[in-house]
């Protein structure tokens, strides 16, 4: 698989998400990229991390989506492959939402997820415990 194809298939931003990210970035100083990552923890095994950063670090995948420079670390990339970041403002929910085809289950809070054990043999099954607030 070519590097560009691998980068293009990692994460995509909807126009709504990109617009909100550009708006938030304009309020910050000394940031130039959106970092999308996964971290161990949460009530289902992994949780998403979205934040602004000064730039890419060695080994990061770098790409631009909808006018936003995005970086993903090499550990997170396989777990985020094909994921879409959206921004919702409805009567029921407001905020960023990640639709991840690699998640086999997620917590009620929507910020924590679990992957297929064949993808991550170290993943543990978890319920929605104190880490969630719906």
The Cα 111–Cα 94 span in angstroms is 13
For the ranges 33-47, 48-62, 116-130, the lowest mean pLDDT is seen at: 116-130
User: In sequence order, what are the residues at sequence separation of 6 or more whose Cβ sits closer than 8 angstroms to the Cβ of residue 132?
Assistant: 42, 43, 107, 108, 109, 111, 112
The Cα 39–Cα 85 span in angstroms is 16
β-strand pairing of 83-89 with 94-99:
antiparallel
Cα R_g (the chain), whole angstroms: 15
For 110-122, what is the mean pLDDT?
49
Task: Dump pLDDT digits (tens) for 59-71.
Answer: 999 999 999 999 9
3-115 topology per CATH? Hypothetical Protein Aq_1857; Chain: A; (2.60.300)
């Amino acid at each position: 698989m070519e590097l560009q194809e691998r980068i293009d298939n990692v994460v995509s931003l909807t126009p709504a998400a990109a617009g909100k990210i550009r708006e938030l970035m304009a309020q910050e100083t000394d940031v130039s990229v959106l970092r999308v990552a996964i971290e161990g923890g949460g009530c289902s095994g992994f949780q998403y991390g979205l934040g602004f950063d000064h730039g890419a670090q060695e080994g990061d995948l770098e790409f631009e989506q909808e006018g936003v420079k995005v970086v993903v670390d090499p550990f997170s990339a396989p777990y985020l492959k094909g994921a879409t970041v959206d921004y919702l403002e409805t009567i029921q929910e407001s905020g960023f939402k990640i639709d991840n085809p690699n998640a086999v289950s997620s917590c009620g809070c929507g910020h924590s997820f679990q992957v297929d054990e064949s993808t991550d043999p170290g993943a543990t099954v978890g319920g929605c415990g104190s880490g969630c607030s719906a």
